[in-house]
Structure 1
Amino acid sequence: MPLLIAILAATAPLAAMATERWGGLNPCLLCLWQRWPYWVAAVLALLAYLLPRRLMLALAGLAILTSGAFAVVHLGVEAKWWPSPLPGCVAPNASAGQSVEEMLASLSPRPAKPCDEPTYLVSGLPISMAGMNLIYAVALGGVALWGARRLR
């Protein structure tokens, strides 16, 4: 079970990176924040071979559910229910009195995508990448917590 959770946890951010590289999708800052809990979960699941298995699987499940919590925030931003909590999610705009040079200097080196623009992996499927992550995180986090509970 720990190895399966570690592999499935690492699969989520790797799949997201694959959509960037081969699918041409550009992630926003909230997209990037949803990835790191999966890496933490993968490490925690592997630590279950060295430390108390039940505890490590439970912590891995909670880490995965943290990504799901980020996905809920992201879905709310996409639906425009609330503003993004991250200042880097706002598309750059020109301020009054700024010169072109000042505007260019303020841009980040990596192109940013506004967090309130949903990214759809499958055209015609009305669920964004954040929505897919929420479903995956709840399912995988639930399996990890169920596995930890089963280890009594």
Structure 2
Amino acid sequence: MRSPLILLATLGSVALLGGAFLFQSLGWQPCAMCLWQRWPHAAAIAIGVIALATGWRGLAWLGALAAATTTGIAIFHTGVERGWWEGPASCTGVGPGLGGDLLSTDGPAPVLCDVFTPFLWGLSMANWNAILSALLVVVWVAAARAKG
């Protein structure tokens, strides 16, 4: 029962990461925190592939950790978007850490992490990533606890 769960969790990260790249190709440019959320999904995919190839049960716990990491980043990003707490000065409209010339017309303006952009049913991509990645944590943990 473990292998189907690992496959499901791995494909879940493939879908979320693939969706992020798809929407980026369609013009939805990511902010820095959006990009941070992608790395744990990439790690979960690699972990899932190795776990499926080796059958080593302990890797499912690492998959759960990767999914939990992207969930945590997405929850933090959700709070920044909705103004519940401040985000890093490097990608918000506050503070001296914002890089680049905001008045320049030479290229696209930087995407700020504290701008809430509804995506589907009033939720942003970070909101959806938090929800769906939390579900992936549950699947990874179920895989780690499954027999055989």
- State TM-score, norm by structure 1: 0.79
Q: Are 2:137 and 1:137 aligned? A: no
Alignment of 1:66-145 (within 5 A): 66-85=69-88, 87-91=89-93, 103=101, 111-122=109-120, 125-145=121-141
Correspondence for 2:14: 10
Deviation at 1:115, TM superposition (A): 0.7
Correspondence for 2:147: 151
Q: What is the alpha-carbon distance in structure 1 between the residues aligned to residue 101 and residue 48 of structure 2?
A: 45
User: What are the superposed Cα offsets for residues 86-139 of structure 1, whole Å, 9 maximum, x if unpaired?
Assistant: x33124999xxxxxxx947x99x76421111122223xx221111101110111
The structure-2 alpha-carbon separation of the partners of 1:40 and 1:103, relative to structure 1 and needing over 3 Å to count, comes to closer
List alignment gaps of at least 5 residues for structure 1.
95-101
User: What are the superposed Cα offsets for residues 39-74 of structure 1, whole Å, 9 maximum, x if unpaired?
Assistant: 001111111134452211111011011100001110
Q: What is the alpha-carbon distance in structure 1 between the residues aligned to residue 9 and residue 92 of structure 2?
A: 34
Q: What is the alpha-carbon distance in structure 2 between the residues aligned to residue 75 and residue 47 of structure 1?
A: 31
The number of residue pairs the alignment matches comes to 141
Q: Which letter maps to 1:8? A: G
Asked which structure has the greater CA Rg, the reply is 1
The structure-2 alpha-carbon separation of the partners of 1:110 and 1:67, relative to structure 1 and needing over 3 Å to count, comes to farther
Percent identity, aligned pairs only, is: 31
Please give the root-mean-square deviation of Cα atoms over the aligned residues, in Å.
2.9
Q: Check whether the contact 1:54–1:151 (CA below 8 A) recurs between aligned residues.
A: no
Correspondence for 2:33: 30
List alignment gaps of at least 5 residues for structure 2.
none
Runs of 4+ deviating beyond 3 Å: 49-52, 91-94
Q: Check whether the contact 1:29–1:112 (CA below 8 A) recurs between aligned residues.
A: no
User: What are the superposed Cα offsets for residues 20-40 of structure 1, whole Å, 9 maximum, x if unpaired?
Assistant: 212x21211111111110000
The structure-2 alpha-carbon separation of the partners of 1:131 and 1:92, relative to structure 1 and needing over 3 Å to count, comes to closer
Q: Which letter maps to 2:70? A: S
